[in-house]
Amino acid sequence: MADFSDKVIYQIYPKSFRDLNGDGLGDIPGIIEKLDYLKELGVDYLWLTPVFISPQRDNGYDVADYRKIDEKFGTMEDLEELIAQSGRRGIGIMLDMVFNHTSTAHEWFQKALAGDPEYQNYYIFKDGEPGQPPTNWQSKFGGSAWEYVPTLGKWYLHLFDVTQADLNWENPKVREELKEVIRFWKQKGIKGFRFDVVNLISKPEVWEDDLEGDGRRFYTDGPRVHEYLKELVRDTGIEDFVTVGEMSSTTLEHCIRYSAPREKELSMCFSFHHLKIDYKNGNKWELMEPDFAALKELFIKWQTGMQAGAGQSALFWCNHDQPRIVSRLGDEGRYWKESAKMLAGMIHLMRGTPYVYQGEEIGMTNPHYTGIGQYRDVESLNYYKILLEQGKTADEALEILAARSRDNSRTPMQWNGGAHCGFSEAEPWIPISDNSAQINVESQLGDDTSIFSFYQKLIALRKENEVIAKGEIAFLEEENPKVLAYRRSLGDRELTVFCNLGDTETEISMKPEWEGCRKLLGNYEKEFSCAKEETLTLEPYEFLVLETGQAHGM
C-alpha cells in the first residue's frame, strides 16, 4: 500500500466549477481550461464528483451507467483529454465510485422492476404488504428508507433518495460487476478512487426495527464491510492507488482498519464527527453555536488514535455536502482572511492527507440564500417541508437551510467579479453567491497576502518539510479551550503549530525550549521573535507555525 501523506487532493464539483459550452452547467472542458490554475496552486490529484450518466436527482450520486459520461458534462473523449492533460502536469484524476446504490434508472434496477429475479437479487427487495415497510429505518434524506413496488408486491431499500436503490453486496455477482467498473476506469488511466458511503455497503443478516434510532447502527460499518473492501482492492489491483472511503457515522476503530496499510483496504478515510460540533443534540437541522471544546477533543482523539493504530486520515473541512467552513467556524466579516487562513493551516499541518474543496482556497463563503426557490438539493427541499411540518415558520426553516444546506458549497466557483462570476456565459443552474465581486480568483492571484497564496504556501511547505507528511503529532495546551496547538516531530525537526479559534486575543505560556525558535508561517504579517517573553500573544484567529526543534539553530 502506497503512502499519500505528502500529497494534496483538490475536490472538483464539476457542475459548479467552470462552464465552457454555455449551458449554465459546468463541464469537463471547463476543468481542462483551469488545469494551469490548479497546477499553480500545487495540488497532486483532482477528485471529480460523479460525471456518469445520471438522472441527476442527487447531482450524479444516482448513477445510471458507471461507464459512460453524462453528456451534460461532456464526452468520454473530454475525460480522456483531461486525464492526458492533467497527467502532463503531474496531476492524477480520481473518480467517485458510488457503489452503495445505483439510480433506479440503472439497467439493473429496470430489469429487477420488470420482474427478473436475477436482477432483483442485485438489490435489497423484501416481500411485504403496502403500508408495512420491512423495518422502521429512515432515509438519510428524510422519510422511510423503504419503497413499495405494487407490481412486484415487494419493498426495496434506499438509504438515500427513493431513486437511489441500495445494492446487495451479499450477492457475489454484484461485487464482480463493481470490480469490472474499477478495471474499466483503471485502464483509462484513472489514478485513484473516492468511494461514496462505502462503510454502509454491508447490511445486517437480520432485518429488525431500530427502537433507538434511524437504523444506522445496523448497517454502519456492517458485518462484512472489511472483507468486501479487501476483496475489491485485491481483485482490481488498486493497492497502490490513492483510495479514500467516505465513512458515515463511523468509529475510530473501524477507520484504523479501513486505512492501516497492513489491512490492505484503503489509503485513507473521511470521517465527519468534527463537522457535527454545531448540531444541537446531534441533529443537523437544529442550529447551535460551534462547540470548540468538542472540536478540540475530537481532533485530539482522532489524530492520536489514528497515529497509534497507523491509520490514515483524509484532512478536510469542506466538501460538496458541507456548508463553507469560513462561514461556519470562522468569520465572514472583519476576520474573513485571517480565519480562512487559520482554518486551512490548522488541518494542513495535522497528520494525514489534506483536501481542498473548490473555492475554499479563495475563502468562498455560504451564498446567503433567502428564498426556497434558490435551493436545488433534494435533501434541502425535503427537509424544508419536514421543518414546516414540524411547526417551524418559513423564515425559521430558511434560516436553518441558509446555515445547513448542502447547496451552500455547490454555488458556482467565483473566478472573477463579472457576470455570473466568470463561471459561465449563461445563467448558472444554481444562483451565485452574493459576494463574488469581492471574493474571486482574479482578485487574489498575484497577491502575496491572499488566501489563495496562503494555500499555495501550505502546500509548498508540505513538499519541502518531510516532518509535515511523516512526523509524529502530539497536542499541547490541552486545557486551553480557545487554542488548538500541536507539535509535529521527525528526527531533529520539530514544528509547533498554534491556532487561536476565537475572535479575541489570547495568551499562552512560552516554553523555555522555544527560545530562539523561528517562525515558519503565519496568517498575520508581523515579525516574530522568541526572545525572553513569558507569554506568547495570539491575535484573533491567529495561526502560527514555529520551527522549535534542534534544527532551528539553537
Q: How far is the CB of 284 from ligand TEU (least distance, A)?
A: 5
Instruction: In angstroms, give the least distance from the CB of 271 to ligand TEU.
Output: 11
Whether 482 contacts 520, CB under 8 Å: no
CA distances from 225 to 100, 123, 148, 221, 222 (A): 11, 17, 27, 6, 6
User: Closest Cα to residue 349, out of 453, 495, 514?
Assistant: 495
Answer for which of 61, 123, 316, 498 binds ligand TEU (CB under 6 A) is 61
Nearer to ligand TEU, 336 or 429 (CB): 429
Which residues in 131-190 contact ligand TEU (CB under 6 A)? 140, 160
- In 10 A of CB 14, how many CB atoms? 24
Which helix or strand (DSSP H or E) is residue 217 part of?
helix 216-219
Residue nearest to ligand TEU (CB): 61
- Shortest Å distance, C-beta 138 to ligand TEU: 11
Residues in 66-125 at the binding interface with ligand TEU, rule: CB under 6 A? 98
The grid coordinates of residue 113 equal 422492476
Please report which helix (H) or strand (E) contains residue 325, including its range.
helix 325-328
Q: Is 58 in the site for ligand TEU (CB under 6 A)?
A: yes
Q: How far is the CB of 321 from ligand TEU (least distance, A)?
A: 4
Residue 248 lies near ligand TEU (rule: CB under 6 A):
yes
Task: Return the number of other C-beta atoms located less than 10 Å from residue 35's C-beta.
Answer: 16
331-350 residues in contact with ligand TEU (CB under 6 A) are none
According to DSSP, the residues that pair with 243 across neighbouring strands are 193
Task: Fill in the amino acid letter for 133.
Answer: P
Measured CA distances, 163 to 43, 97, 145, 178, 219 (Å)? 35, 17, 11, 19, 19
- The alpha carbon of residue 9 and the mean position of all alpha carbons in its chain are separated, in whole angstroms, by 11
Catalytic residue among 19, 58, 147, 246: 246
Chosen residue from 197, 268, 400, 459 binding ligand TEU by CB under 6 A: 197
Q: Which of 196, 221, 278, 338 is catalytic?
A: 196
316 grid coordinates: 478536510
Query: Residue 80 has which C-alpha cell?
Result: 480522456
Q: How far is the CB of 250 from ligand TEU (least distance, A)?
A: 11
Q: Which is nearer to ligand TEU, 408 or 500 (CB)?
A: 408
CB of 201 to ligand TEU, least distance (A): 12
- The residues, any chain, with a CB within 8 Å of residue 129's CB and separated by 6 or more, are none
Strand segments, DSSP code E, in 159-307 are: 164-166, 192-195, 242-246, 268-270, 279-280, 283-287
Count the site residues for ligand TEU by CB under 6 A. 13
Residue closer to ligand TEU, measured from CB, 288 or 460: 288
**96 catalytic residue (yes or no):** no
Q: Which runs of E-coded beta strand occur in 8-162?
A: 9-12, 45-48, 52-53, 65-69, 92-97, 101-103, 125-127, 146-149, 154-157
Residues 370-399 that bind ligand TEU (CB under 6 A): 379
498, three cell numbers: 498554534
Q: How many residues does the chain have?
A: 554
**Binding map of ligand TEU across residues 274-303, x = CB under 6 A, - = no contact:** ----------x-------------------
Instruction: Using the minimum distance from each CB to ligand TEU, give the nearer residue, 196 or 360.
Output: 196
Report, in Å, the least distance between residue 282 CB and ligand TEU. 11
Helix, strand, coil shares of the chain, percent, nearest 5, are 35, 20, 45
Least spacing, CB of residue 15 vs ligand TEU, in Å: 12
Residue type, 89: R
Q: Which is nearer to ligand TEU, 53 or 439 (CB)?
A: 53
Query: Is there binding between residue 57 and ligand TEU (CB under 6 A)?
Result: no
Nearer to ligand TEU, 15 or 320 (CB): 320
- Residue whose CB is less far from ligand TEU, 265 or 377: 377
Contacts 24+ apart (CB under 8 A), 131-139: 134/207, 135/207, 135/208, 135/209, 135/210, 135/215, 136/209, 136/210, 136/215, 137/210, 137/214, 137/215, 137/218, 138/214, 138/215
Among residues 265, 321, 539, 542, the one that binds ligand TEU under rule CB under 6 A:
321
Q: Smallest distance, Å, CB 285 to ligand TEU?
A: 9
Residue 427 designated active-site: no
Cβ-based neighbour number of residue 252 at 10 Å: 18
Nearer to ligand TEU, 329 or 495 (CB): 329
Minimal CA–CA distance to 415: which of 367, 358, 466? 358
What is the distance between the alpha carbons of residues 163 and 56, in angstroms, rounded to a whole number? 10
Please identify, using beta-carbon distances, which residue of 197 and 499 lies nearer to ligand TEU.
197
Binding interface with ligand TEU (CB under 6 A): 58, 61, 98, 140, 160, 196-197, 246, 248, 284, 320-321, 379
Q: Which residues are catalytic?
A: 196, 246
